[in-house]
Amino acid sequence: MGPPLLSCPDGREIPLSEQKGKTCRLFAAVFNIVNSIIGSGIIGLPYSVKQAGFPLGILLLFWVSYVTDFSLILLIKGGTLSGTDTYQSLVNKTFGLPGYLFLSVLQFLYPFIAMISYNIIAGDILSKVFQRIPSIDPENFFIGRHFIIVLSTVTFILPLSLYRDIAKLGKISLTSTLLTTLILGIVIAKAVSLGPYIPKTEDAWVFAKPNAIQAVGVMSFAFICHHNCFLVYGSLEDPTVAKWSSIIHVSTVISLFISIIFATSGYLTFTGFTQGDLFENYCRNDDLVTFGRFCYGVTIILTYPIECFVTREVIANVFFSGNLSLVSHIIITVVIITVATVVSLLIDCLGVVLELSGVLCATPLIFIIPSACYLKLSEEPRTYLDKIMSCVMLSFGAVVMCAGFIMAVTNPQDCTHGQEMFYCFPNNVSLTNISDYPLQLTTQLPDFNISILN
């Protein structure tokens, strides 16, 4: 039998012993990190900019991405200082059993809720795609969200989630990243073609808004990938902090670039009308957006297994000392996916749940816990840059967590799931070929908007 082979994102299979194998794993790590960040959360970034105010929202995106970059490296540094190789073991060694259990709950809940949201989004988006097929009854059971969720789970999600080595998802992550780039192009195109015909709200260009704290929660939900960073780090050939830092810098820059373009293009198109799920803003009879919905639905399905890896690892570490037999691996995977699927079939709008997940799960995992671990483990002087930044992150995270929770409960985001926006049918004029009706729409939309708002 020949040497073990490694599947690279470009389809190559090469011996692990070769130098090319190391390069291959570096690329796989980058794509896995980017894919983990650019998941369901990206679709809510235009909404987070709306909450914060456009200028402040863009600044907050830079801040959250910088903190994500810094804290991902800080986690691996903490693991090196403590001699641990998982997030849970790091916190266990630093804060004992209470800290370990607290982190385990957070580390399980965040990806598990993400899995539920992925199912819901995939079901909603793909059902709208299939409804556009000619001669298909929109009420057909086989294009309904429930059937699509079950079918995609059994056909794609479960087989991919049964992998035991996250590095094998490198090609899947590359495909997901390329599809996300295609979706980004569609959002930019619609900003150019549709944006001028959507009336801008009065507060569209306000620098800052009171809901900025909630916006940070949504952005944190979008950027977090800390729960699987040790998995990706462990998949590297000869892992080092320096190598990890390079991977994280590249991954964060790519993710930030995609996020800013996506958030800006989406918000400039709809301004104050921007919904929590950007695809809810587009009209169902828009064929280009229908194609974008299909690409996003596929992206969500391909991202799901990475989150499943994390939930399974948490259970393995807490109850099985990190070692799962093949049978246990299969049973736990099936149970996790089954529960997530059942919940997603019962809920069709997560709204405030995702917002709460951002402030209560993502914020501690990004801002608070990595900083607290490093501050306790590091013997560097207090004036050391990493320690100063850790103190700032910890304080900022505590404020976001507390204030964000209060605001999310007292001022939850609206759920307009499945509703067509008013501009989709001004006097029954389709916006699919909007270039055919420029004068008509520019005269009709403002009047229609005033009648709706007043």
In terms of domains, do 127 and 239 share one?
yes
In terms of domains, do 395 and 443 share one?
no
Q: What pLDDT is stored for residue 432 in this prediction? A: 42
3-state secondary structure at position 161 = helix
- Mean pLDDT over 90-95 rounds to 90
In terms of domains, do 454 and 392 share one?
no
Q: What pLDDT is stored for residue 444 in this prediction? A: 39
In terms of domains, do 413 and 454 share one?
no
Q: What pLDDT is stored for residue 34 in this prediction? A: 82
User: What is the residue range of 434's domain?
Assistant: 426-454
Q: Provide the domain count of the chain.
A: 2
State the angle between helix axes of 87-131 and 145-152 in degrees (0 to 180), rounded to the nearest 10: 130
In terms of domains, do 287 and 206 share one?
yes
CATH number for the domain that contains residue 116:
1.20.1740.10
- Rounded-to-integer distance, Cα 374 and Cα 363, Å: 16
Q: What pLDDT is stored for residue 140 in this prediction? A: 79
- Mean pLDDT over 213-233 rounds to 82
> Residue 76 in contact with residue 249, Cβ under 8 Å?
no
In terms of domains, do 444 and 388 share one?
no
Q: What pLDDT is stored for residue 2 in this prediction? A: 43
In terms of domains, do 414 and 431 share one?
no
Q: What pLDDT is stored for residue 429 in this prediction? A: 44
- 135-144, 278-287, 348-357, 444-453 — which is least confidently predicted? 444-453
The pLDDT tens digits of the residues spanning 66-89 come to: 999 999 999 999 888 888 888 888
In terms of domains, do 166 and 276 share one?
yes
In terms of domains, do 452 and 401 share one?
no
In terms of domains, do 313 and 430 share one?
no
pLDDT band at 187 (very low <50, low <70, confident <90, very high): very high
Residue 447 has pLDDT above 60, yes or no: no
Residue 7 has pLDDT above 50, yes or no: no
pTM of the model: 0.77
For 38-65, letters b (16+ CB in 10 Å) and e give: bbbbbbbbbbbbbbbbbebbbebbeebb
Q: What pLDDT is stored for residue 298 in this prediction? A: 87
In terms of domains, do 454 and 314 share one?
no
- Mean pLDDT over 253-263 rounds to 92
Q: Which two tokens stand for residue 156?
A: 């794609």
In terms of domains, do 173 and 106 share one?
yes
